[in-house]
Amino acid sequence: MDELKPYNSHFKKLERGVNNKPIIPMETFNNFLYYGNASVMVKTKVDTHVNQVESNADRLAMVTERYFVDELYSHQITLETKVFKNIFQVIPKGLKTNDYLKITINPDSIIMKPHESLRELMEVKLNIDLGIEEPFMFAVNPVYVRDVLMLLSSLKIKSFKLKYTDSNLRPLMFEADDIQVVVAPVRLPNM
């Protein structure tokens, strides 16, 4: 199998949903493949070199320091890829970038509640012992999360770590094996 096939597929989805946002093309830097846009950024270890451009080295080093440093994320929980991919599979196609899900992570459950414009979706509550002390709430574009979960599934990753901070304005990181994907939260007026 082509090592880059799952990433190419994910990158094409990001390109289609850009709406005039600048996109970082697939590039290799220090044996990691990077690509993304302002809402989703991917970093993964690969053996194949893609568009290795030294002129972008400073920019990609800055991306690493800004988003892909463990110290930036103070909390993490481990979740099953298949369970969450199946939950997010029901997200309708053609959502706008301002559509979002509010996700509340509690010590004993995860609750996902759709934005008003997504009223055809129902609130989903998954009872699961997460071993955390404090609840945390954030909002995300469900299409970006669904696409990340589909990428992890296509890579045959059974579980991933969801890393986050105490700020619901900071990005979330999906991490498994040699892949890290950062997803920007949706900034809500009441946050």
pLDDT tens digits for range 67-93: 888 888 998 999 999 988 887 776 655
Domains of the chain by residue range: 1-97+142-191
Q: What is the pLDDT of residue 102?
A: 85
Q: Where residue 1 falls among pLDDT bands split at 50, 70, 90? A: very low
Q: Where residue 158 falls among pLDDT bands split at 50, 70, 90? A: very high
Residue with tokens 């800004």: 66
CATH class of 1-97+142-191: alpha beta
Question: What angle do helix axes 81-88 and 142-154 make, rounded to 10 degrees?
Answer: 140
Separation between Cα atoms, residue 187 and residue 138, nearest integer Å: 9
> Any alpha helices (H) in the chain, and if so which ranges?
5-16, 57-67, 81-88, 142-154
Separation between Cα atoms, residue 30 and residue 52, nearest integer Å: 9
E strand segments, the chain? 23-29, 32-37, 40-45, 75-80, 101-105, 109-114, 124-127, 136-140, 159-164, 172-176, 179-183
Q: What is the pLDDT of residue 51?
A: 74
Q: With CA atoms as reference, report the closest residue to 98 among 136, 141, 57, 65.
A: 141
pLDDT for residue 97 is more than 70: no
Return the number of other C-beta atoms located less than 10 Å from residue 180's C-beta. Answer: 22
